[in-house]
Each structure stands twice: as structure tokens, then as C-alpha cells.
Structure 1
């Protein structure tokens, strides 16, 4: 293994690359500042775009990732055999800070699911063939992925899912329905968790697969959201035949695979530079808005802003623990639950702060740049209290696995899934 280059030399080369392929942000525009009134101001949590506009946004994110992949900047701390540079995580964090000084395409949830959730999950549980074949495709976002987890009858209880996978020789026959599958209509692949054995306790009878989304018998139906977009989908499987070679992990490992993916989902660190900023808006956008409307000197507003900033920094530090596990190719631990809870609480705190900053301008469109747009954040932020595992589930995980508190009473703990009332 060759020695890592000097960090300053690495950053000098990365700067030359970014200067060639992206435009620097305006002078003085750094993490805590932005030029007010210039460019796009997006603080939405969920997209409200037409399908063509959303495809175009997603394509820009893919193109940028593939441009970075030409130099390995898309996976700086990933092994070289998987397309990365094999460098320490400090290099990835340094590059992330550097890239934030440039104007790069906006992010998209389907892009993040592919590169930050499913790629590392396949790295942990995939066979050698799956890792060699799929991980480079996913890391570079050449082919996109979605999660096929949630179901109409399971709610927040993922282990209660009923989508069936029945073995038939070297194939599995899939029947059932998934819902709230973000980006399924744009995805080439899906990570599916299905029930292979209804006669054991619910956590034990599930198996995971990574499947093409165009297999015969698969139907994708976009769901119209109140925001106007259709990012979410319901997906139906009618006698879909999946080769056993697409199984992810061992038979019965479905719960373990799902928890690993959800652990990555609860890690909201972005040290490698995801491009385009933070879902739901950033601290610098909040601060810039307060300055623009002239309330940043108000002591009550300043206290709210300081709380948001402190919460944001604490969440970053906690999330870094999960990120370190992800980079090492290990399943995420309960730190992911803590980071996710801090993140959703932080989003709600930002909603409270911007409500105090803008007042009536939050709900009445005055035409002023960067004000009425915050309504999309306030309306969307509560949704992330459910996504990736509800707040209540995160508190249970922290209480039981971190604090050692008694487990929540579960009447179905020792019952076969088939015998659980539904």
C-alpha cells in the first residue's frame, strides 16, 4: 500500500480540479456567509418538481459525481479496488470543506440513497461478485437505487412487513407491495426486504435482495404529494422472479441488512462533499435570512440562532462516529439513531427559528428573495420524524442499546409472524 500524499499537496491538486470543473463561490461566501439575492434559494425538504425537472436535477447530480469519479474524489476514503482513493478520512473531510467553496449541483435523495446507503450496504453484505460489480456503479451514481422497505400495513414496524419471498429452486418469487419508495421511478435497482419464513418470529424470517426494478411483474406508481411533486412511489410485485444470485447476505439476514442500511441513513455527515448543500436548508441560509430582514441583532432571535448552530455542530460530531464506521465497511451502531434524532430535532428547531425571523412573511408571499421559500422547509421538516425510523423508534434504540434501560414490552416478541394479529 503506497503512502498517502501530503495533505497540502492533495488539496492543491483538488483545488486545480475544482477550478477546472466548477465555479468558485463569490468572495466572502463561505460556510457561515452567502451572497443574498444571488442564485437559487432552496430550503425545501421534499421536491415539488415536475418529473422532467426532477430528472434533470438528478442528472446534474449524477454528472457531477461521475466527473469527480474520474479522479477518485467521489470516494476518497474508499478502497482502491472499489474505485476510491484509499486515503484516510481526514482527506475526505478536507475535500468536503474545499468543495463547499464552489457552486456544485443540488443534491437529490435518490442520489444519496444510491451512493451513501445502498453502496455501503452492498459493501458490507454483498458477495465478492456483487461488490466488484455493483459497488462501483452505485458509488459513481451511474445506476441509481431505491429502498423497498416500507409497507402499507407495517407502519414504523419494519419487522412486521408481509411482502413474501418464496424459494423456487435457484429463484425467489416475490409478491407484495411497498410504499413511500423515494425515487423508485428513477431507479435501476432496489434494495428489497421480504419475508421468506412466516413461521418464525418476525425479526428472523426476512431476507434481503438487490434487484433490477424492471423485472417482469414489477409496477411502480408515483404518489402525488401535497407539495405538488411525486418523489414517493408505491411498488407492486406480482410473481416477480429474482435469481438467488441477487440475494444480499444470508437467508434470514434481512433484518440485519435493513438495520445496516437504516444506520447509514441516520448518518447525516457529508464530509466527502455531497454537493448542493443540506436537505431542508443550512445554517448559513438561516443566518443570511436573519441578516437580510434586519433582525440578527435582536437578542431573542440571536438566542434562537445560537441554539440552531449549537445543535447543528453537536449533530455533526455525533454523525462523524457513524461515518467512521461506514468508511470502515462496518454496520452502523446506535450512534446513527442519536445522530438522526439530533438531525430531525435540529430541523424542527430551524423551523421555529425561521418562524421568529420572518413572522408573517413566512406565510404571505411578499416577493422578497429567500423568504417565502422557507415555507417549504416548515411544511416538510415534520416528515423526517418518520423517514428512516420514527423519533420514537430512535429513542427506544438509544434507551435499550445505549442506556441499558429495560426493553419496551412487546406482546409479539416470541410469537411467529403468522400468529401476530394484524
Structure 2
């Protein structure tokens, strides 16, 4: 095995010879050139968003064929079997190129595929994991419901067994990327008489199955990243089940653990501190002491994030799992994005209210309107703080009187 520095040189040469344009993050570009988008959620016409996803799938396939698509995955699952530090090194070098960004690709590769690797049957892994790693299949999370958001264990979508199939009825909501996904990781209730955490089961479901309807939801940013998904007598073969019947809560926690653990890798979502500095310089707001103070706080938050990310990558390379620290990182990430929003709000003032066509001003409304969504996505701030308090700090748990009662009675 080559040293990590030799591996970096190999990666640099491969990327330089590839098709992607170089972005040179961290270098200053002329104000007014290129896209001024700092959107947190996509606000693209359907065809353009589909084209973005097609480009990202193609890049994932190119990486996989070259041995860079699943660097730290086991060889028998299509990976390269290298330590996680090698995967981190590749991602760091890749940041210098315009690979595109979309939450559905991140969910597929960072959440669903690793969950299947850990918990799915050999048959289900063979069916789905390889195509996901090659960019051929994309998968969303079918978790949240109108009455089961932060309290995910309260899901009411029901699955009833009929022979070797399960018949599913219910509704999911806030499903990122469902209108473009091929499959969904689905959490349903299979035993309403068991306590709510113990009556759940997880499945993979093809989203072109009969009885599934996906309806995009228009957000205040203008985009339709989220969807509601209706399941009407949807039949799912038992071989698509993840884990044991009644073990869906463990499956959900595994996926959520990967989600929180991957929050530090969302560096391309929204505007970062460098874009905030450029904004302040070119609007003259950098001369304002109050704006400079906000800018300093934003830069410090991002620098601390880089330190935390390096620490997590070291722990991951030693075989550590994200665990409760993922909740800490998720809060830190949202704080970093919010700190940049504070700078933009102070620097632009009334110019955020009207689109006058000026480059780099109105575009920041996408950042300000989008960031609050991540205070909810992946578990609200309040849920993360409860997790940190109970599991990391050892504080007394929140009262949960209904935890051991049958869901059928406790959910009323």
C-alpha cells in the first residue's frame, strides 16, 4: 500500500487529467464573475436539476471505475479497502474541482448505502449497494411524517404482512430529492401493539412501485427540494426488508448517525466565510465595526469547524463511529451557516428586500431563507441538544412516560 502522500500525488494527477473544471477554493476571483448563487436548497427548474444529478452520477461512475468511488469500503463490496484517511485525502483534493452538489447524492452515498452495508441481507446489498456506489441508483429517506418529525418513533405509516409481501399505506413528508430518487429507505409500523420504538420495521422500496405518488412541496426559497410521498396499498417483497421485523428503530438510528456524522462534509452548501469576506469588501461594509465583529465570529466558527473535522477524520481513520459527537457537529455546522447569514444581513441591509439585478446581493436571500431549514433537517436543534445532554454529558433524561406503552394507545 502506498503512503498517504504518494496516494495524494496519484489523486492529483488523476484529477488534473480529468474532465472537471478547477475551482481553486480559497483564491479570490473577480467580483461579478460566474454564478453568485449561495443557495442552501436548490431552486432550479426540474430539467436543470435533473441535468445536475446526471452530471454528478456520471462523475461518481467515473470515480468508481478508477477506484476512487468507495475508497474505504471493503473490496468485496466494490471498494478499495484503504483506511478512511485515504478517502478523506481524496475528498480534500477533489474540493479543488467543480463536482456539483446535491443532497440526494449525499444521502445515497453517505447515508443509505452505508446503512445497507451494515444491516442489509447479502441479497439486498448485492442488489443495491454496487449500483449506488457506481452512481446508477439514487435513494432518499422515507422517514418523517406529518405527526412524526423530531419524534420519529411515532410514525404511523402501516405495513401488514401478506405471505412474502408487505402491504404499505401511509404518508411521508419533507423527503429530500424523492422526485428524482430510484429507491427509498422506508420506516413503517408493523406492530401497533408494541411500544413505539419496538414496533417499527425498515424496508427499501422502489419509487416506481404501483401505489406511490410523489408531490413536490414549494419552499419559501422558491425551490422544491422537499416532497410528500403517499403510499397506497404499496406491495414490498420481504426480501427488501432491512434487518429483522421490529428492528426498524435501530436501522433509523444507524442512518441518522451517518447523517449527523456527515454534516461536517457539507462545506459546499450555501456561502462560506470567504464569500462573506468578498461581500463585505465589495459593498464597503467591511469598514463597519459591527460588521467586522460579525465577520470575525463567522471566520472563527469556520476555522473551528475545520479543526473539528480534522479530529473526526483522525478518529474515523482509527475505526471510531460518529456516535453522539455527530449531534455536536450538526449544531456547529448550522451555527457556522447562520453566522455567515448574520454577516450578509448586516452588510446588505435593505438590498436584501428587492432584486435590482446587482450581482452578489439579492442572491443572499437564498442563504438567509434556507439556513433555518437545517435547524430542523436531520433532527431539530432541540433534539440534538437532548441527545448531547443525555448521552454525552450524562444529564437526567427527558420524561418519556409513553415509552413502554403500546403505540396504539400512547399515540392518541
Q: Give the TM-score band, short-chain normalised.
A: over 0.9
The reply to whether residue 48 of structure 1 matches residue 43 of structure 2 is yes
- The answer to whether the Cα contact below 8 Å between 1:163 and 1:195 also exists between their aligned partners in 2 is yes
Match of 1:8 in 2: 5
Superposition pairs of residues 168-207 of structure 1, within 5 angstroms: 168-207=162-201
SS in 2 for 1:186: coil
Distance in 1 of aligned mates of 2:318 and 2:186: 24
**Aligned counterparts of 1:106 and 1:91: Cα–Cα separation in 2:** 21
CA distance 1:97–1:288, shift in 2 (3 Å): farther
Give the Cα–Cα distance (whole angstroms) in 2 for the partners of residues 355 and 132 of structure 1. Answer: 49
Per the alignment, residue 323 of structure 2 pairs with 333
Structure 1 range deviating more: 410-419 or 8-17:
8-17
Query: Contact 1:365 / 1:372 at 8 angstroms: preserved in 2?
Result: yes
Alignment correspondent of 2:394: 404
Asked if 1:413 is matched to 2:403, the reply is yes
Map 1:85-124 → 2, pairs under 5 A: 85-102=80-97, 104-124=98-118
Aligned to 2:211: 217
Task: Mark the CA change 1:100 to 1:319 in structure 2 (over 3 Å): closer, same or farther.
Answer: closer
Deviation, 1:398, is: 0.6
1:375 equivalent in structure 2: 365
Q: How does 1:59-98 map to 2 (within 5 A)?
A: 59-98=54-93
Structure 1 stretch displaced more, 40-49 or 241-250: 40-49
- State how far apart, in whole Å, the 2-side matches of 1:322 and 1:261 are: 18
Report the aligned-residue RMSD.
Answer: 2.3
Equivalent residues of 2:264, 2:305 under 8 A apart: no
CA distance in 1, matches of 2:320, 2:191: 27
Q: Is the 8 A contact 2:186 2:204 kept in 1?
A: yes
Q: Which of these residues, 281, 296, 307, is aligned with residue 291 of structure 1?
A: 281
Q: CA, structure 1 residues 154+218, in 2 after alignment: closer, same or farther (shift >3 Å)?
A: same
Cα distance in 2 for partners of 1:294, 1:335 equals 39
Tell me by how many angstroms 1:325 deviates.
7.6
Distance 1:101 1:243, change over 3 A: same
> In the alignment, which residue of structure 2 is the partner of 1:310?
300
**In terms of mean alpha carbon deviation, does 411-420 or 157-166 score higher?**
411-420
Q: Distance in 1 between matches of 2:137 and 2:36?
A: 28
2:204 is paired with a residue whose SS is: strand
Alpha-carbon distance, 1:400 to partner: 0.7
Residue 232 of structure 1 is aligned with which of 226, 237, 244?
Answer: 226
Q: For residues 100 and 349 of structure 1, what CA distance do their matches in structure 2 show?
A: 22
Q: Which runs of 5+ in 1 are unaligned?
A: none
TM normalised by structure 2 equals: 0.92
Q: Conserved in 1, the CA contact under 8 Å of 2:85 and 2:313?
A: no
Partner Cα distance (1:157, 1:318) in 2 = 28
Structure 2 unaligned spans of 5+: none
**Distance verdict in 2 for CA 1:34–1:336, change over 3 Å:** farther
What is the CA–CA distance in structure 1 between the aligned matches of 2:64 and 2:360, rounded to whole Å? Answer: 33
Is the 1:260–1:332 contact (alpha carbons within 8 Å) kept by the matching residues of 2?
no
Deviations 1:57-101 (A, max 9, x none): 111221222121121222222222222222222222222222222
The TM-score normalised by the length of structure 1 is: 0.90
